Chains A and B, each alone.
Chain A
Amino acid sequence: MSQSSRKKLLLMGRSGSGKSSMRSIIFSNYSAFDTRRLGATIDVEHSHLRFLGNMTLNLWDCGGQDVFMENYFTAQKDHIFKMVQVLIHVFDVESKLINKDIEIFVKALTNLQKFSPDAKIFVLLHKMDLVQLDKRDELFHIMMDKLQKISNPFHFKLVGFPTSIWDESLYKAWSQIVCSLIPNMNLFNSNLLKFNEVLDAEEIILFEKTTFLVISSTASIQRQSQAQGSHLSNGSLDALDPKRFEKISNIIKTYKQSLGKLRSNFQNLVIRGSNGLHFYVDFLTDNLFIMIVLRDRGTDKSHRHALEDLLILENVKAARKWFEKIEAGK
């Protein structure tokens, strides 16, 4: 098992497209503002990230200047493109040399097909914040159609995301990328549903602890099963903000950072909301955070007290051992 839990991710794209900024925000707690300080990446920067305890992500941040690029596709190609699980190719939407960007993308695909034909390909159209709001969708679709056409001969299925470091889109993209690497995803999902039956919550979301990427949530599981044709009751969730997961990631990450100023760590958070909803954010395992959203079903508001909160937190404690088992891969 230990072999398969090392995942190699290639992060590629032309220089200045924002690869290292992404890496710093998602994995090193930089704020978007801090990324201005990052210089050019020289050759390949490796980072090893423990994710969900037993999974190691080897992120190869490949510097995108032409000198290095040439080198990757010639002298180092077997070293770079061997055993790749995921290629994340970043395109700068402001780039003037689209053809050159695509040329490099094609070269990368050619090498991947040769050395790791099973790799998953993710395309990020980055710096979307520089495009007018009403033009973003159109631009994204044109670009994705074009790239999909190009990659068809290589038999790769592309998954694309519009991203920007100034909003939640970056978290959304990386959540999906990382989730595609988790082997026992189904176990997480089924246990989450069981836990939800116990609590009868509006929604439960699981986050990875260090990056705060969304691993799984009851809403997304329901959506998947609906797509497969089964009918689960899905009440008010459709009316909610579809970007809420990324926003929550962002909010809580900011909070964790701000607590650093008090030289203190986050343990849990309980909010009694303004419209009868209660929020609980707590540790689930050493690598997971859980967020539970409950609706207040009591008609009599005077009957709310701290006991209820303690009950929920006790439930979370009881759920811990199950999720710890899943993480350990048993």
Chain B
Amino acid sequence: MEQQQQLQTAPDSSNATILLMGLRRGGKSSICKVVFHNMQPLDTLYLESTSKPTSEQFLSLIDLSVMELPGQLNYFEPSYDSERLFSSVGALVYVIDSQDEYLNALTNLSTIIEYAHRVNPKIHIEVLIHKIDGLSEDYRIDAQRDIMQRTGDELLDLGLEGVQVSFYLTSIFDHSIYEAFSRIVQKLVPELPSLENMLDNLVAHSSIDKVFLFDVNSKIYVATDSSPVDIQTYEVCAEFIDITIDLDDLYVENDAKSDQQVVKDEIKSISYLSNGLVLYKQMIRGLALVALIRNDEDNGPGQSESNMDELLTIIDYNVGRFKKSLMKMWESSKFRPASNTGGEV
């Protein structure tokens, strides 16, 4: 992969870039604000139209920049250096407004794909069928099928049937947008297979139901074990991060808030549920591990508690091992380890 070579040669410019494109009023800025700035979905109604390309720096497991292009831009003016732009991009995310007539958007999409593919054949093409919160269930499936069909036909006409295009149904009012972004970002992480392997090992030896490696600021998960992702489990885990961090922040004294130099201990939280527990542990570079541990065995109440304690000790040890290997992985991939907890620059 091109990224990989970049990563190993120049750690300073190792930003994998995601390009966010689409027609005007498709919802690109709202996506950026909701995912990377924790804006409330309802507040995005008042966003201004974007007039120039904006870029988000997003430091996590990989340093990522998300570049948002205005919808009304003509990419093919000679003055605009789109060739250089596309050649340095890892993924192209195209947003289609599913509540609007999308025929224009599809034409635009195929033009862009054709161009991008010519400049950079390695680029990942991702299509977000967006704003599905306003559509009924049946209609969503229809819209998705229709869009996939038409895109396929358009690409066939252009002689590009080899291009892989992934489709996602998204909305900013639920967790689907995070899920889609998680998958997109994961494609850009070169160490993903080994990470997943490590997580699988952890799951196998600690009777964990599901484990995610989250980026704390954006709620995007950069890796998970190989069992299928159930969106509700994901939501609960993402909310658990919020709960932990919000409670922790409440008791930071006001004068200490501005002082970033304080060395912070790692946060760890455990919550017992009626049928198991959720565990959250801070890792490096603004990542956190959230695991869901099921305990469906019906023993007596006292017995299950002591079992849980034993289990927790084992899990604690294993998670510690996991963290150590994550750090090792880090050193070998030539990243400057960030001591702060990541976040926006």
Residues of A within 8 A of B (CB): 33, 202, 236, 239-241, 244, 247-248, 251-252, 254-255, 258-259, 261-277, 279, 293, 301, 306, 310
Bitwise, B217-251 to A at CB < 8 A (1) or not (0) is 00000000000000011011001101110111011
Chain A's nearest CB lies how many Å from the CB of B333? Answer: 26
Instruction: Judge whether B271 is part of the interface by a CB distance below 8 angstroms.
Output: yes
Chain A's nearest CB lies how many Å from the CB of B106? Answer: 32
Chain B's nearest CB lies how many Å from the CB of A168? Answer: 11
CB neighbours (8 Å) of B45 from chain A are none
Chain B's nearest CB lies how many Å from the CB of A160? Answer: 26
Residue of B nearest to A274 (CB): B264
Residue of B nearest to A252 (CB): B243
Residue of A nearest to B209 (CB): A262
Whole-angstrom CA separation of A31 from B236 in the bound complex:
16
- Chain B interface size, under 10 / 10 to 19 / 20 to 34 / 35 or more: 35 or more
Bitwise, B33-64 to A at CB < 8 A (1) or not (0) is 00000000010000000000000000000000
The verdict on A262 contacting B271 (CB below 8 Å), with A247-B250, A306-B313 known, is no
Residue of A nearest to B316 (CB): A306
Q: Is the CB of B240 within 8 A of A273?
A: no
Q: Is the CB of A240 within 8 A of B264?
A: no
CB neighbours (8 Å) of B265 from chain A are 272-276, 301
Which of A202, A236, A261, A273: most chain B Cβ within 10 A?
A273
Given contacts A259-B273, A271-B267, A279-B248, 6 further A-B contacts (CB under 8 A): A255-B240, A258-B239, A264-B274, A267-B271, A272-B269, A301-B265
Q: Is the CB of A248 within 8 A of B254?
A: no
Chain A's nearest CB lies how many Å from the CB of B245? Answer: 9
Q: Is the CB of B255 within 8 A of A239?
A: yes
CB neighbours (8 Å) of A301 from chain B are 265
CB neighbours (8 Å) of A293 from chain B are 251
10 A-B pairs within 8 Å (CB atoms) are namely A240-B250, A241-B254, A258-B236, A270-B269, A270-B271, A271-B267, A273-B267, A274-B248, A275-B252, A275-B262
Contact of A269 among B42, B250, B270, B313 (CB under 8 A): B270
Residues of B within 8 A of A (CB): 42, 232-233, 235-236, 239-240, 242-244, 246-248, 250-256, 262, 264-276, 282, 292, 309, 312-313
Q: Is the CB of A268 within 8 A of B271?
A: yes
Residue of A nearest to B281 (CB): A272
Which of B235, B250, B271, B276: most chain A Cβ within 10 A?
B250
Q: Is the CB of B309 within 8 A of A306?
A: yes
Contact of A266 among B254, B273, B292 (CB under 8 A): B273
Whole-angstrom CA separation of A269 from B240 in the bound complex:
11
Whole-angstrom CA separation of A255 from B267 in the bound complex:
18
Contact of A241 among B250, B267, B269 (CB under 8 A): B250
CB neighbours (8 Å) of A275 from chain B are 248, 251-252, 256, 262, 264-265
CB neighbours (8 Å) of A239 from chain B are 253-255
Residue of A nearest to B265 (CB): A274
Chain A's nearest CB lies how many Å from the CB of B194? Answer: 29
Which of A248, A272, A301: most chain B Cβ within 10 A?
A272
Sorted nearest first, the 5 A-B pairs with minimum C-beta distance are A271-B269, A239-B253, A265-B274, A274-B264, A267-B272
Whole-angstrom CA separation of A101 from B292 in the bound complex:
52
Residue of B nearest to A268 (CB): B272
Q: Is the CB of A265 within 8 A of B239?
A: no
Q: Is the CB of B271 within 8 A of A273?
A: no
Q: Is the CB of B235 within 8 A of A258?
A: yes
Chain A's nearest CB lies how many Å from the CB of B228? Answer: 16
CB neighbours (8 Å) of B251 from chain A are 202, 240, 244, 273, 275, 277, 279, 293
Q: Is the CB of A261 within 8 A of B232?
A: yes
Residue of A nearest to B262 (CB): A275
Q: Is the CB of A254 within 8 A of B256?
A: no
Residue of A nearest to B231 (CB): A261
Q: Is the CB of B276 within 8 A of A264?
A: yes
Residue of B nearest to A279 (CB): B247
Chain A's nearest CB lies how many Å from the CB of B244? Answer: 6
CB neighbours (8 Å) of B272 from chain A are 267-269
Q: Is the CB of A254 within 8 A of B271?
A: no
CB neighbours (8 Å) of A277 from chain B are 248, 251
Contact of B270 among A241, A259, A270 (CB under 8 A): A270
Q: Is the CB of B239 within 8 A of A262?
A: no
CB neighbours (8 Å) of B313 from chain A are 306
Residue of A nearest to B312 (CB): A306
Residue of A nearest to B248 (CB): A273
CB neighbours (8 Å) of B292 from chain A are 262
Whole-angstrom CA separation of A105 from B297 in the bound complex:
58
Residue of B nearest to A239 (CB): B253
CB neighbours (8 Å) of A306 from chain B are 309, 312-313
CB neighbours (8 Å) of A267 from chain B are 271-274
CB neighbours (8 Å) of B262 from chain A are 275
Q: Is the CB of B269 within 8 A of A254?
A: no
CB neighbours (8 Å) of B269 from chain A are 269-272, 279
Whole-angstrom CA separation of A180 from B309 in the bound complex:
41
Whole-angstrom CA separation of A277 from B256 in the bound complex:
14
CB neighbours (8 Å) of A254 from chain B are 239, 242-243
Q: Is the CB of B248 within 8 A of A262?
A: no
Chain B's nearest CB lies how many Å from the CB of A87? Answer: 32
CB neighbours (8 Å) of A259 from chain B are 236, 273
Whole-angstrom CA separation of A276 from B313 in the bound complex:
21
Chain A's nearest CB lies how many Å from the CB of B165? Answer: 31
Which of A268, A269, A276: most chain B Cβ within 10 A?
A269
Q: Is the CB of A271 within 8 A of B246?
A: no
Chain A's nearest CB lies how many Å from the CB of B280? Answer: 8
